[in-house]
Amino acid sequence: MSNETYTSSNRIFKELFDEIGKVIVGQREAVEQILIAIMCNSHALVESNPGLAKTLTISTVSKALDLKFSRIQCTPDLMPSDITGTYIIEDVGGKKQFRFEPGPVFSNIVLADEINRASPKTQSAMLEAMQEKQVTVGNKTYTLDKPFFVLATQNPIEMEGTYPLPEAQLDRFLLKILMDYPTEQEENEIVNRYTKNIIPAVNKVISKNEVLELQKLTRDVPIAEDIKSRAVNIVIATRAKSEHIEYGASPRASIGIILAAKARALMSGRNYVSAEDIDAMAYPVLRHRVILTFESERKGLTTDQVISHILKTVK
């Protein structure tokens, strides 16, 4: 099965991009990074301004992958049970008994929209589900369905009344994906597509089992020792005393870069990890794990600029 999936992986990814491209105009890099996070069996955080089709993108991906999708709009009054689910009393044959009603977290793909608006308690419940891939309600533990992928979004503006995710929680997201405004040409295309009566439809490209197969294959992609060392050295360099970085990334970032690079290689149809994969994945893996100094922020430096500098210096 693995062999078949591997030989057809090139075709699968090409068809996936084509199918998603029917609905999403541009944002190729963001779509690629979402798929990479799914292939790595991890989660992603998306930061973008409103109206950039975050929800549409992730729902399209779930349709193309034939996965169950649910969306949670995070608000300050959202309770953990609203996410995980709760016991409800129902009448069965004249008897009252508790029945567990699963929450939206019991899906394959969960969009936690504006996660920073949820209270820390709810955020913790969500992040626990992400990490453990299981939910404990009352005394009972429920295992989440596989694959399980959370795409949390943050709005960089309107920070009032929000609960920014602590660094330790941010570390649980494999990637931080930035979605930017489309180009003029892309925006014209968006307008053309969405001002007509025909709404583009997405077809299923692969099954849930194939997604799981691809997740296994991702970890099988070989990597050379010197390229692996480069990934580790990049992460270590973020921890070195620097005028730009207050706190560096954890070893989880090293794992993240290598895993994401493997997924990228697989998606590019390569049977080995290239140094180019490491460099490309260093940005989304590190940008939410590296905390800049006040001085750097005052100067208007971005995390990506600091990562660029590190990539240039690390051999």
Partner 1 sequence: MDPLLEISQKLQSDYFRRMQLLFILDLISVFCIVYAITLIFQMEYFLNKSSLDARIPINIIPPILSFIIAVIAAFLRHKNDHKIKFNLLIESKYPELKEKVRTAYDNISESNVIVDSLKNSVLSGLTIVSASTLLATSVVVTKIIIVMFFVSGVTVISSQPEKYTIPVETIEDNIIKITGGNGNETSEAVGSPEDFGQAGGFETKPKIATIEGKNIDLTIFPGYEQGVELVKESQIQNPFIKSPEFPVDIMGSNVSDGGYSSLLKKTETEKQLINKFAVERSKI
Q: Which residues bind partner 1 (CB under 8 A)?
A: 2-3, 6, 217, 220-227, 266, 271-275
Nearer Cβ to partner 1, position 217 or 237? Answer: 217
> CA angle, corner 53, sides to 47 and 57, nearest 5?
95
Nearer Cβ to partner 1, position 110 or 221? Answer: 221
- C-alpha 141/C-alpha 43 separation (Å) is 21
**Least distance between partner 1 and beta carbon 217 (Å):** 7
Nearer Cβ to partner 1, position 227 or 292? Answer: 227
Helix (H) or strand (E) holding 304: helix 303-313
Nearer Cβ to partner 1, position 6 or 13? Answer: 6
**Least distance between partner 1 and beta carbon 282 (Å):** 17
**Least distance between partner 1 and beta carbon 197 (Å):** 45
- C-alpha 235/C-alpha 73 separation (Å) is 33
Instruction: Read off the amino acid at residue 269.
Output: G
**Least distance between partner 1 and beta carbon 15 (Å):** 20
Tokens representing residue 276 in the block: 């180019």
Specify which residues 87 forms β-bridges with.
100
> What is residue 195's three-state secondary structure?
coil
Nearer Cβ to partner 1, position 225 or 243? Answer: 225
**Least distance between partner 1 and beta carbon 40 (Å):** 15
**Least distance between partner 1 and beta carbon 149 (Å):** 22
**Upstream peptide bond of 200 is cis (omega within 30 degrees of 0):** no
- C-alpha 304/C-alpha 315 separation (Å) is 18
**Least distance between partner 1 and beta carbon 87 (Å):** 44
Give Dmax (Cα) for the chain: 72
Nearer Cβ to partner 1, position 64 or 221? Answer: 221
Taking alpha carbons only, the member of 79, 121, 82, 134 closest to residue 104 is 82
Length of the chain measured in residues: 315
Distances, alpha carbon 226 to alpha carbons 40, 230, 251, 300, in Å: 22, 6, 17, 34
Nearer Cβ to partner 1, position 117 or 262? Answer: 262
